[in-house]
């Protein structure tokens, strides 16, 4: 099993390298995928926050603020798990273009690798999909647009074999940007369907 | 910041306050002499010392600003230390003299006001008792009575503006007076609470909160306290707005990522879907009669403003300029709609006349969004990031008399109360 999953990961990494250069915003997300597989297999299932040498991953403080784990979980553990899964590239967010809710190749690729992990090592977790928008829209329409983005990502995960009962959605519109900046780079990061792992009940 | 602002403006004398007026308006205005109050009862000595600075900031400042912004009155400057007589009123071309006496009795202020015409006859006599914290409310009540006396219609001075603010660390629903005074927090969810909208009787607000982790509609009294969740059993539950004529609430609900306009009773019953396209619909707003609903739809490829009958029929597009239009809101006359319109990469407030089809931009710096009309249709409050962060501003519908109302944290999504009193 482990051998197969390594092959799958390596294959996805290769695919990601082929596909992703077209999407500038996703480059930072490639790095965790191509870290040596040995690191992945030795990591504990629910790890203490790993000391990352990758300077390009998001600031931990940002990430803690953005996630809203439900009340029935132990927050420190699930937050560490989410950080770890994102850093390792086990789950990868889907990014969108301006005023769009359709999945381009890079977004599909991110969700495919996420689905692979969620069906395997991550099968014990449920998913909260958060729809986010950049600030260059209006607050009220963006809440609706974020709802569509989250559900577009959910529908794709379901077609990839994830049980729809495992996935909930929420739209934050432009209310909770990942990057507070006001330039193309910040806006690109803020248009996403963000995967949050939650404990299955 | 707020305190500094209040000090600066409140120490201005009545003569300093001017409101820009068109020539037409200037010809119609009533000139009124408003000297600083005598700090004692009429014809008597003061019973206790009166804090004149508290009277100036809490009462005289708000009162003279209301008069200056009324649109029907202008303040006639009075020379200092000169008794106001009929002859003086004539010489400064003032039709009225507002005689004010303010003193304290125990913990309360007593405010007595006489509006006297050139013949010496009192057209209005009012007496108020209020603690120091309610002096500005007293000023608004008196200014409102003066407007009603002169104009026969109530002013906007007692209206309230609801908005969302993050100054407490989380986005909560706040209220303020029409001049930005008395800013107070109404909700205490400790999460993301946004988009307040007034009930037609000015008693309740409906808003969106993420208190349960997903977005839901809640109703709360303007006095705060218990909140009630309106359960649509749908997703999203944003942009909720009370019907002006029934207990219906229009809102954006979503099933499987298809946001549409829905109605629901305020007791969570009778959910009805009004739009049925596969495109994104958002931001419903009732016409003043409750017969029509405006909304935003992406059905043409970009967000545009549409109007439909309240049953969901007879849909027509009303925005034709700009690649992103949203936040439509009806003027009290039902003929004009203000909305947010993307122009040259920035959002601006656009006012469209539904009868003539004409529209114009009320130009301003930065991005300007989420307009809301004052109950008399003379003013628009909106959010702008012209100074870097989102703040709530107020201006006349033609852009004059711009005033920043919020200063702490970020503030957005204003909604002006529907009734003037």
What pLDDT does residue A52 have?
43
What pLDDT does residue B81 have?
81
In this complex, is the C-beta atom of B415 within 8 Å of any C-beta atom belonging to chain A? no
Q: What is the mean pLDDT of residues B272-300?
A: 97
In this complex, is the C-beta atom of B213 within 8 Å of any C-beta atom belonging to chain A? yes
Q: What is the mean pLDDT of residues A160-185?
A: 96
Cβ pair A148:B283 closer than 8 A? no
Give yes or no for residue B42 having a pLDDT over 60. Answer: yes
Per-residue tokens: B41: 């009862």
What pLDDT does residue A2 have?
43
B202 and B337 within one domain = yes
Which B residues 104-163 touch A at CB under 8 Å?
A: none
B183 and B88 within one domain = no
Q: What is the mean pLDDT of residues A120-148?
A: 96
| Interatomic CA distance for residues B421 and B419, integer angstroms | 6
Cβ pair B296:A141 closer than 8 A? yes
pLDDT digits (tens, 9 = 90+) for B159-171: 999 999 999 999 9
| Interatomic CA distance for residues B219 and B230, integer angstroms | 7
Nearest to B261 by CA among B269, B252, B248, B270: B252
Cβ pair A175:B194 closer than 8 A? yes
Domain extent listing, chain A: 2-199
Q: How far is CA B184 from each of CA A181, B62, B84, B162, rounded to the nearest angstrom?
A: 30, 18, 39, 10
Best of B259, B306, B343 to disrupt the A interface (most A CBs within 10 Å) is B259
What pLDDT does residue B344 have?
87
| Interatomic CA distance for residues B120 and B217, integer angstroms | 56
Long-range Cβ contacts of A27-34 (<8 Å, 24+ apart): A28/A56, A28/A57, A29/A89, A29/A92, A29/A93, A29/A110, A30/A89, A31/A56, A31/A57, A31/A89, A32/A57, A32/A86, A32/A87, A32/A88, A32/A89, A33/A9, A33/A88, A33/A89, A33/A92, A33/A113
- The reply to whether B421 falls in a domain is no
Chain B residue with Cα closest to A137: B324
In this complex, is the C-beta atom of B64 within 8 Å of any C-beta atom belonging to chain A? no
Nearest to B198 by CA among B263, B152, B238, B244: B244
Count how many residues are written for chain B: 421
Q: Select the more confidently predicted residue: B263 or A29.
A: B263
What is the total count of domains within chain B? 2
| Interatomic CA distance for residues A5 and A16, integer angstroms | 16
Smallest CA–CA distance, residue A31 to chain B, in Å, is: 31
In this complex, is the C-beta atom of A139 within 8 Å of any C-beta atom belonging to chain B? yes
Residue pair B147/B129 in contact (Cβ under 8 Å)? The answer is no
Give yes or no for residue A35 having a pLDDT over 90. Answer: no
B326 contacts on A by Cβ (under 8 Å): 137-138, 140-141
Band of pLDDT at residue A5, cut at 50, 70 and 90: very low
Per-residue tokens: A103: 């999945």
Q: How far is CA B33 from each of CA B9, B11, B14, B85, B87, rounded to the nearest angstrom?
A: 19, 18, 9, 11, 13
Residue in this structure with the two tokens 């809301």, named with its chain if needed: B372
Q: Select the more confidently predicted residue: A72 or B102.
A: B102
Strands A94-95 and B122-130: unpaired
Cβ pair A168:B171 closer than 8 A? no
In this complex, is the C-beta atom of A132 within 8 Å of any C-beta atom belonging to chain B? no
Nearest to B65 by CA among B375, B372, B380, B403: B403
B190 contacts on A by Cβ (under 8 Å): none
Burial environment of residue A200 by CB neighbours within 10 A (0 to 12, 13 to 18, 19 or more)? exposed
| Interatomic CA distance for residues B232 and B217, integer angstroms | 8
What pLDDT does residue B47 have?
79
Give yes or no for residue B236 having a pLDDT over 60. Answer: yes
Give yes or no for residue A20 having a pLDDT over 70. Answer: no
In this complex, is the C-beta atom of B324 within 8 Å of any C-beta atom belonging to chain A? yes
| Interatomic CA distance for residues B395 and B30, integer angstroms | 22
Give yes or no for residue B14 having a pLDDT over 70. Answer: no
| Interatomic CA distance for residues A41 and A1, integer angstroms | 12
Sign of the CA dihedral with B64 first, then B65, B66, and B68 last: positive
- The reply to whether B237 falls in a domain is yes
Give yes or no for residue A192 having a pLDDT over 50. Answer: yes
Q: Domain A2-199 maps to which CATH number in 3.30.70.370, 3.40.50.620, 3.40.50.150, 3.30.1330.60?
A: 3.30.1330.60
Q: What is the mean pLDDT of residues B75-93?
A: 90
> How high is the mean pLDDT of chain B?
92
Question: What does the angle CA B136 – CA B139 – CA B143 come to, to the nearest 5 degrees?
Answer: 145
The pTM score is 0.83
Strand B235-242's sheet: what is its strand order?
Answer: B235-242, B248-255, B258-265, B272-273
- Residues near B164 by beta carbon (within 8 Å), at least 6 away in sequence: B171, B172, B173, B174, B193, B194, B195, B196, B207, B411, B412, B413
Torsion angle (degrees, nearest 10) of CA B73, B78, B81, B87: -100
Band of pLDDT at residue B280, cut at 50, 70 and 90: very high
Band of pLDDT at residue B421, cut at 50, 70 and 90: confident
Count how many residues are written for chain A: 201
Nearest to A66 by CA among A43, A93, A39, A45: A93
Q: What is the mean pLDDT of residues B217-223?
A: 97
Band of pLDDT at residue A171, cut at 50, 70 and 90: very high
Best of A70, A138, A145 to disrupt the B interface (most B CBs within 10 Å) is A138
Facing B413 at nearest CB: one of A139, A145, A176: A139
In this complex, is the C-beta atom of A126 within 8 Å of any C-beta atom belonging to chain B? no
Cβ pair A141:B235 closer than 8 A? no
Per-residue tokens: B36: 């600083």
Band of pLDDT at residue A119, cut at 50, 70 and 90: very high
Biggest distance spanned by C-alpha atoms of chain A? 48
Residue pair B338/B350 in contact (Cβ under 8 Å)? The answer is yes
Residue pair B107/B89 in contact (Cβ under 8 Å)? The answer is no
Band of pLDDT at residue A188, cut at 50, 70 and 90: very high
Q: What is the CATH number of the domain that holds B285?
A: 2.120.10.30
- Residue-range definition of the domain harbouring residue B391: 160-416
Q: How far is CA A114 from each of CA A130, A162, A170, rounded to the nearest angstrom?
A: 15, 10, 18
What pLDDT does residue A200 have?
87
B143 and B169 within one domain = no
The number of C-alpha atoms within 13 Å of B16 and in the hemisphere containing its C-beta is 8
Give yes or no for residue B222 having a pLDDT over 50. Answer: yes
Question: Quick count: other Cβ atoms within 10 Å of Cβ B235?
Answer: 24
Give yes or no for residue B172 having a pLDDT over 70. Answer: yes
B254 contacts on A by Cβ (under 8 Å): 144, 147, 151
Chain B residue with Cα closest to A151: B257
Q: What is the CATH number of the domain that holds B83?
A: 3.40.50.10070
Domain C-terminal end among B151, B185, B203: B151
What pLDDT does residue B22 have?
54
Q: What is the mean pLDDT of residues B79-91?
A: 89
Give yes or no for residue B211 having a pLDDT over 70. Answer: yes
Domain C-terminal end among B151, B173, B199: B151
Question: In this predicted structure, which of A174-188, B19-33, B249-263 has the lowest mean pLDDT?
Answer: B19-33
Q: What is the mean pLDDT of residues B355-373?
A: 95
In this complex, is the C-beta atom of B280 within 8 Å of any C-beta atom belonging to chain A? yes
What pLDDT does residue B51 have?
94
B303 contacts on A by Cβ (under 8 Å): 99, 137-138, 141
| Interatomic CA distance for residues B252 and B261, integer angstroms | 5
pLDDT digits (tens, 9 = 90+) for B114-125: 999 999 999 999
Cβ pair B238:A151 closer than 8 A? no
Q: How far is CA B29 from each of CA A156, B32, B69, B149, B369, rounded to the nearest angstrom?
A: 65, 9, 11, 14, 32
Domain C-terminal end among B122, B151, B180: B151
In this complex, is the C-beta atom of A58 within 8 Å of any C-beta atom belonging to chain B? no
B281 contacts on A by Cβ (under 8 Å): 144
In this complex, is the C-beta atom of A73 within 8 Å of any C-beta atom belonging to chain B? no
Smallest CA–CA distance, residue A147 to chain B, in Å, is: 6
Strands A125-132 and A167-173: parallel
- Residues near B214 by beta carbon (within 8 Å), at least 6 away in sequence: A168, A170, B235
- Residues near B141 by beta carbon (within 8 Å), at least 6 away in sequence: B128, B157, B158
For chain A, report the end-to-end CA distance as a whole number of angstroms: 26
Give the number of beta-carbon pairs within 8 Å between A and B. 97
What pLDDT does residue B19 have?
53
- The reply to whether B143 falls in a domain is yes
- Residues near B157 by beta carbon (within 8 Å), at least 6 away in sequence: B66, B140, B141, B143, B144, B147, B178, B179
- The reply to whether B261 falls in a domain is yes
Facing B280 at nearest CB: one of A144, A155, A172: A144
What pLDDT does residue A33 have?
38
């Amino acid at each position: 099993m482990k051998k197969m999953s390594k092959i799958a990961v390596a294959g996805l990494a290769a695919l990601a390298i082929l596909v992703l250069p077209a999407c500038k915003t996703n480059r930072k997300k490639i790095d965790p995928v191509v870290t040596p597989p040995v690191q992945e297999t030795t990591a504990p299932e629910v790890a203490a926050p790993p000391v990352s040498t990758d300077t390009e991953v998001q600031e931990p403080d940002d990430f803690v603020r953005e996630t809203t784990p439900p009340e029935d979980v132990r927050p420190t553990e699930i937050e560490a798990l989410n950080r770890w899964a994102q850093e390792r590239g086990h789950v990868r967010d889907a990014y969108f273009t301006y005023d769009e809710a359709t999945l381009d190749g890079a977004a599909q690729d991110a969700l495919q690798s996420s689905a692979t992990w969620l069906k395997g090592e991550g099968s014990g977790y449920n998913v909260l999909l958060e729809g986010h928008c950049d600030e260059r829209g209006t607050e009220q329409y963006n809440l609706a647009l974020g709802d569509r983005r989250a559900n577009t990502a959910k529908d794709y995960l379901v077609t990839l074999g994830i049980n729809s009962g495992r996935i909930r959605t929420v739209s934050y519109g432009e209310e909770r940007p990942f990057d507070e900046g006001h330039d193309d780079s910040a806006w690109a990061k803020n248009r996403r369907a963000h995967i949050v792992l939650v404990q299955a009940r | 910041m707020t305190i500094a602002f209040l000090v600066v403006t409140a120490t201005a004398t009545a003569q300093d306050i001017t409101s820009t007026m068109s020539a037409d308006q200037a010809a119609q205005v009533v000139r009124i002499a408003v000297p600083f109050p005598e700090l004692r009862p009429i014809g008597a000595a003061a019973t206790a010392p009166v804090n004149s600075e508290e009277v100036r900031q809490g009462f005289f400042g708000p009162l003279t600003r209301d008069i200056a912004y009324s649109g029907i009155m202008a303040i006639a400057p009075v020379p200092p230390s000169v008794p106001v007589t009929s002859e003086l009123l004539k010489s400064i071309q003032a039709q009225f003299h507002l005689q004010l006496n303010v003193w304290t009795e125990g913990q309360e202020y007593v405010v007595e006001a006489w509006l006297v015409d050139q013949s010496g006859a009192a057209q209005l006599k009012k007496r108020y008792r209020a603690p120091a914290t309610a002096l500005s409310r007293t000023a608004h009540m008196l200014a409102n009575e003066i407007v009603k006396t002169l104009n026969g219609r109530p002013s906007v001075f007692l209206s309230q503006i609801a908005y969302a603010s993050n100054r407490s660390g989380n986005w909560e629903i706040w209220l303020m007076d029409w001049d930005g005074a008395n800013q107070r927090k109404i909700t205490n969810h400790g999460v993301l609470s946004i988009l307040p909208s007034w009930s037609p009787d000015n008693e309740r607000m409906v808003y969106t909160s993420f208190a349960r982790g997903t977005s839901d509609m809640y109703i709360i009294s303007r006095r705060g306290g218990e909140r009630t969740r309106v359960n649509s059993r749908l997703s999203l539950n944003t942009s909720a707005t009370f019907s002006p004529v029934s207990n219906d609430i229009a809102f954006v609900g979503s099933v499987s990522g298809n946001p549409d306009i829905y109605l629901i009773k305020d007791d969570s019953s009778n959910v009805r879907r009004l739009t049925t396209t596969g495109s994104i619909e958002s931001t419903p707003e009732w016409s003043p009669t409750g017969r029509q609903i405006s909304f935003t739809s992406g059905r043409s490829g970009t967000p545009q403003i549409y109007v439909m009958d309240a049953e969901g029929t007879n849909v027509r597009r009303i925005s034709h300029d700009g690649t992103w239009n949203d936040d439509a809101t009806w003027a009290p006359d039902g003929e004009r709609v203000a909305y947010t319109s993307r122009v040259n990469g920035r959002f601006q407030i656009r006012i469209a006349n539904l009868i003539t089809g004409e529209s114009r931009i009320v130009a301003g710096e930065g991005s300007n969004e989420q307009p809301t009309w004052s109950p008399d249709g003379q003013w628009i409050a909106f959010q702008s990031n012209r100074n870097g962060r989102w703040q709530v501003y107020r201006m006349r519908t033609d852009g004059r008399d711009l005033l920043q109302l919020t200063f702490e944290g970020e503030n957005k999504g204003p909604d002006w109360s529907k009734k003037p009193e």
